[in-house]
Each structure stands twice: as structure tokens, then as C-alpha cells.
Structure 1
Amino acid sequence: MPQDPFFNQTLFDKGLEVRKEVLGKDYVESSLAKADDFMQAFQEFTTQYCWGIIWNRPGLDRRTRSFLNLAMLIALNRPNELKLHIGGALNNGITKEEIKEVCLQAFIYCGVPASLDAFKVAQQVFAERGI
């Protein structure tokens, strides 16, 4: 049972639905199941605010949000989250070719090391998915 006084069940439920659709049911359920007392608040906060509010806003579609996430995660050099969101981008209909273009765009604006890491992470995801 959530202990956070800011927990909102409606936002959590909306966020959980979108989170599973984008990142995959197995990944999300595993993340929630592994959450101990230390991580529980993070899981709740992420599900409510990131997925329940931001990903449900009408201003951008999921493909656009995925493109933005890929670019920001490359720029921030967050390979673990990038791997997760490359999978989410594929789930949102972004193609391998489009992901390559995001990585190339990052080459110019974020630098060679960031782009190279992004290409390597994308290759791993493609290999895991047989793409």
C-alpha cells in the first residue's frame, strides 16, 4: 500500500497503462515487483507523473515523445534508460532507420562519444529483437 501522502491512484492507474504499452508489460511489472521500501516512492512518482501526466498530455503523440526521449537520453549519456526507450520507441512505431537518424543528429549536437554509445545501445536492442 502506498505510503506517500501525494500518491494519487487515478494518476497511477493511467500512468501504469501507458507505461506498460510503451515499455512492455513484463518490464514494468518486474520493476514494480522489485521495488523495495527504498525504490517504491520512485516507482510511484514515475508512474504517476511521468506516465500518468506527461505521457497522457494531448500536445504530443507518443512517437514524438519517443523521439524527444531518445535525443535527450543520448545527450545526457544515459545508456540504460536509452536502451529501455529505444524499445519503447519501437513499440511506438519508430523505425530502425529513424532511430539511426536520431543517433546521427546526436553526432552533430552531442558529440561523437554520445552518438557512438547510442549506436551501440541501439544495436543491442535490435539484436535482442531480431531486427
Structure 2
Amino acid sequence: MRETSAPSARYHQGMATRRAVLGDDHVDRAEAAASDFDRPFQELITEGAWGTVWSRPGLTKRERSIVTIALLAALGQDEEVAMHVRATANTGATRDDICEALLHVAIYAGVPAANHAIKIAKKTYEQMDAESAA
């Protein structure tokens, strides 16, 4: 299942961006958990999402973070919402930014989607605060 070619320059850029946004601990866990079955997927998202989209110069990491959380909330991608809320510690997106983005979700994607994402964000921020206090 695994291709044997060397990682591309876009993959290396993606890995650097992925680590900058999600943090080394998260990426190291994902890499350690990868199997022959899902390693091609991990490489695809590293190259495509992180090496192409997140590495473009048109938006800041803060702006991309806000857009990503809004999109994930609208799509009901709960685990991804939590992961990207946690990543705001690295992107510069503030809690106010995320609140505003989720208000947009309520209007453009539906109140239930925003309501659920707000619950996830609140819980994630509470965990982050507890970790910071420890």
C-alpha cells in the first residue's frame, strides 16, 4: 500500500506547517499511530492540506484557523473542531475570533451546528485552561 518514493518538498513544507499549527505532540502521536493502511492518507493531508492550502501566503494562520473551524463546525466534524480549537494556541486566533466565526455558522449553516460546535469549543478551552493552570 505504501509508495516508496521520497517525500516531496511540498510534504516537507506541509509537515513544518502542520507542526507549527497543531504542535509537535499532536503530529508525533498521529505519525506514531499511522499504519500501512492509513499512512498514504496522512501523507495526502500533509501534502495537500498543510503543504498546499495552509502554506499559501494569501491568509495568515490566524485567518485560516478561523475559516477552518467555521467550516468544520458547519460540517459537524466534532473531533476536528476540537483539534483546531486547540490549535488556536499556535495560530493566534482568539476566543473572540472563534465566537464570531461560530455566530456565522449559526446563520449560514444552522443553529444546531453552531450550538454543538460552541459546546465543543467551550469544553476544549476549559481543558486548555486546566492544562495551563497545572
TM-score normalized with structure 2 length = 0.88
Q: Show structure 2 runs of 5+ residues with no match.
A: none
Q: Show structure 1 runs of 5+ residues with no match.
A: none
Distance 1:7 1:103, change over 3 A: farther
Deviation for aligned residue 1:39? 0.8
For 1:113-124, list aligned pairs within 5 A: 113-124=112-123
For 1:1-131, list aligned pairs within 5 A: 3-4=2-3, 8-130=7-129
Distance in 1 between residues matched to 2:6 and 2:42, nearest whole Å: 11
**What is the percentage of aligned positions where both structures have the same residue?**
35
- Tell me, yes or no, if the aligned pair for 2:2 and 2:39 is still in contact at 8 Å: no
Distance 1:72 1:10, change over 3 A: same
Distance 1:4 1:103, change over 3 A: same
SS at match of 2:57: coil
Q: Superposition RMSD on alpha carbons, in Å?
A: 1.8
- Tell me, yes or no, if the aligned pair for 2:13 and 2:51 is still in contact at 8 Å: yes
The amino acid across from 1:120 in the alignment is K
- Tell me, yes or no, if the aligned pair for 1:79 and 1:118 is still in contact at 8 Å: yes
Aligned residues: 130
TM-score normalized with structure 1 length = 0.90
